[in-house]
Structure 1
């Protein structure tokens, strides 16, 4: 691979980490990273809650479990080495009803199986030593989780890639690919980029980039918008660090939670609502092509049929601050509606199968001198450096 030309498409955490790991593995590689926006980390990476996930909830043996456990260690070391703000502050997962207690126990068992240490089941008095204003009947303390400045991580990765002779091209949207013999030609808004190998890490555009490179896959990226609020000044003391609910296994999303941000303040959210624009960050965002893409996909309708009550509830909560507040009050009863200030949104790229089921694990395919990341939702930002190693290893296989 040394001396070969590699094009990485996508300037989020996964794309940048992949480029960084490829350069580490093959120092003489000629690497270009193409990002369609005018700066890196403009979509999922720059609009998430900034949490470092340590691998608590993922199925033992899954790629998410394996790579998040390895990835949080690597990310923490990277932040220390490069002076990036982060804090391993711990997370308190809260059960608020009796029927959640077995699930809380199961979370502890999963975390232990994944190699986590220091997990403790807590009674309410112990919970309130960590979070004085928390509600609930039992909690699970996860000391290895934390928070980080992901945009700063991406900016540092971009700088390191450039320092090693790579090129980060912003404003270079890939429109289509051609395979000319053994060369890939990417037609971009900044001209043609010719390479020997291609890696696509497109996030919200992952399926389209793979299709543009000739890959036929049955998965479709379905975008789910998540709205955030923040606690207003004077009420931020209600949350010290991270407070999470016990996820309901019947539903595919975690539920709203509290996150102390590394830059200061406390965020609350996100919910999860179907977005009719893949990169739409308001409640009324709409793009005709994206809407048609989603609404003509049979898998979406099967998913909505299976989870109708959840989807209706999420939609109502998206348009009702009162309902959003009520969900948060199960975790911190003292939170009031007027404590919350709107704080933007993120859009999660979730791969879905035609049967209407979400692709639960990371999904990476490698063929024809190319590697495509088809599914990399949370905890991909935490695990990005480990995913980057995985991508480099897959690239070696298609050499």
Structure 2
């Protein structure tokens, strides 16, 4: 297949992945302020879309991790081809859409990494993967970031409730936190743009390097930054409001003080990680924050069954997307006919999933909201009024 055509196909597919990332993940940033009535759905998503757009321009460290870190370079250049990147993206998008349909907890970021790794392994073997970079920049942050964000949210919630000195179920004077959530959730949307949009920038840059049109180790080109920023912002605006409107009550058990603490912890963790080039899952960090803030409330316990289901979903995403990417890579290596088969099958699966989702009423069961699900992992006990003793 002509090198120019395959590069164009990969760029188009990468931007579509960026678009799906917008409505798949970013809506969670605005779920809590909508649930508490601080913002209306369409206003919230518009703000999120604009901040995603701005955030995408703030850094390129994560993009460089993907374009020049995880996949090694050989004597003839980077150890992956545009055809294999195309297959990896097919794997990421198919798994993303599949988990979106089933409402399974997943990470768009790890789906992307899994798809690329699976395709690279098929094409060049284990020598194509820099496991040191994969461990330090992806796997360890995936394990530590949710725990860190959860701890920060736990402490912040404790402080918030200690300062107000009131308890749940009473007029607590914490309405100010509801409006503070406008700031904190906006910060999460900004942070999402700094981390997730860069992953697509890294994939496109990696494609240009693999095709020989850009030298390895060079900076992300300006047009790549602009197009990726616009794609994720459009995805947030066009798909996110629909998800947010449905999920606005998914976090109603989260009090405004908790929401503010969780969102602030999420944004701080993601922004710090973007600065050093850690490619995080926004969903995992936000989920860790929600659980941490829930535990910071008086009288809370963990529903370990729900927490375990969320954890299993996280663990499955990278290897499952890698498996789909590997299958697509085997087909892609057949040549132009393989690319055509991958394209036709991929489009058919995506359209099939979308049409299948339209058959059922939209709810939290068939519209992804891992952050909303994470709120269910914490149970807040209520203390019933003590029974009056009856005198004999």
TM-score of the two chains, using structure 1 as the length reference: 0.22
Q: Between Structure 1 and Structure 2, which shows a larger proportion of helix residues?
A: 2
Asked which structure has the greater RCO (Cα within 8 Å, sep 6+), the reply is 2
TM-score of the two chains, using structure 2 as the length reference: 0.23
